[in-house]
Amino acid sequence: MSEIIYSSTRNAEEKVTPSMAILKGLADDGGLYVPNRIPQLDVSLKDLAAMDYKQVAYEVMKLFLTDFTEEELKDCINKAYDSKFDTDVIAPLVKADGAYFLELFHGATIAFKDMALSILPHLLITSARKNNVKNDIVILTATSGDTGKAALAGFADVKGTKIIVFYPKNGVSPIQEKQMITQRGDNTYVVGIHGNFDDAQTGVKNMFNDKELEEELAAKGYQFSSANSINIGRLVPQIVYYVYAYTRLLGNGNEDKDDEIAGEITDSEKINVVVPTGNFGNILAAFYAKNMGLPIDKLICASNENKVLYDFFSTGTYDRNREFKLTSSPSMDILISSNLERLIYLIAGNDAAANATYMKSLSDSGKYEITADMKAQLEAFYGNFASESETASTIKRIYDNTGYIIDTHTSVAASVYKKYVSETGDDKKTVIASTASPFKFTRSVMDAIDKDKYDQMSDFELVDELSRIGNVAVPAAIEDIRTAPVLHDRVCDKTEMKAMVKGILGV
């Protein structure tokens, strides 16, 4: 198998191995690491259909992480996809409302971030060993709600690491916040900032690019790495579940006759994929899967009222100069979709200099406009958005019609999917990425179903009621925080993030 090398989206000269790309997270010039080619699946879809999640993960990830030995990669996979997940299949597909919901929330923190953040600590520690790194790794990350808890859970008490998570103090759900501020682990630190997610993300990026801070950390035996979706150690594991979902729909002919999913498609039949999208990593993983040879036709990019991506796909102009809206789908309340840079690089002909110009324009003026030729290369994408009222009404409609309860982010995707079908008449089988458990956004979900009935209930009374009406057990992640003490109460201004990090690390 030929080796994959990663280079920066902003400097073609900066080239690293897969393990070094994972270790560094962000390139020295602020660019993101991209593979020199997207490898092709080398196992047939039928053969993959006979494999379990861990086996599929190995067959996909080995193609991108070519400097990992088989033993190293399988060890990482086996440690990640274990009893932390409440189902052996890891990512079940549920048929409802004319689509297939890919439930990516069965991990420790009941959101799709677990799919990658369960394995990232193991990939990172393995990468450090491979590159003879002696420093402690400081994971520095910004979260719009889900990444933070999933990263904290993944890295808690992992030897040789510390993790510092920044989140917008008033920009996450009560349950998301409670999950983070009750996190155990002597190496975990959580800080609320007065600002929004984009402020937190910008502050983190600035620290990664601060050479003086890097030297100060090194003198104390530390170096930064990232758990955000900009790290290819996050992106590569996300490709896996799209391949897995397709092969579950395909089936291998040996399934139980009661399995309503297997055999729904024929070999090489194209499907569509809908992804609720904020930072663009999750839908980019689906795009990579498509380019690996997975028969995906349309990539349907679903935005909430912060519809910067919808506007981009409609016009070819990315413009973050707009009002930032707090919505009921806070993990998508993002105006700077960092992973879009990897797509821009690709459609610019893998031209790092051209991409760097676009990113400089985004930094300086808050916007950039791609060429007509680049826009033509986005034919596989369809963008649309759902308003707050549409998001709520879709949750209610699907529950009333099917009894199936989805969270707000998944509802954004389901709403946009209906718009897509209405506009195009395209009735291909469709997988909707269900990115969070409804228990994570209980109040918004229950308000959507019947606000008058549930308005006076406490958050945890709503949890129990959701369990009852949805006929699903309360996840362990929620039970754990009912009585958990608050362990993290740091709050700072967005301008004080660097000082906070130095204080935590004693630098």
Q: Annotated catalytic residue: which of 62, 113, 162, 178?
A: 113
CA distances from 391 to 5, 33, 197, 303, 330 (A): 41, 34, 21, 11, 13
- What are the phi and psi torsion angles at 479 (to 5°)? -55, -40
Closest Cα partner for 19 from 61, 81, 78? 61
Quote the CA–CA distance of 234 and 33 in Å, as a whole number. Answer: 12
Quote the CA–CA distance of 474 and 212 in Å, as a whole number. Answer: 47
Tokens encoding 162: 């510390």
Task: Report which residue type is found at 400.
Answer: D
What burial class does residue 485 get, using C-beta atoms within 10 Å of its C-beta: 0-12 exposed, 13-18 middle, 19+ buried?
Answer: exposed
Closest Cα partner for 140 from 124, 119, 127? 124
Q: Where are the beta strands (DSSP E) in 214-352?
A: 222-225, 271-276, 296-303, 317-319
Strand partners, 142: 166
Quote the CA–CA distance of 475 and 385 in Å, as a whole number. Answer: 29
Quote the CA–CA distance of 264 and 249 in Å, as a whole number. Answer: 5
Quote the CA–CA distance of 326 and 196 in Å, as a whole number. Answer: 9
How many Cβ atoms sit within 10 Å of the Cβ of residue 349?
11
Quote the CA–CA distance of 328 and 110 in Å, as a whole number. Answer: 17
Q: Is 113 a catalytic residue?
A: yes
370-373 long-range contacts (CB < 8 A, ≥24 apart) are 370/316, 370/317, 370/318, 370/344, 371/316, 372/316
Quote the CA–CA distance of 301 and 411 in Å, as a whole number. Answer: 13
Closest Cα partner for 145 from 422, 437, 433? 437
Tokens encoding 263: 């055999």
Catalytic residues: 113
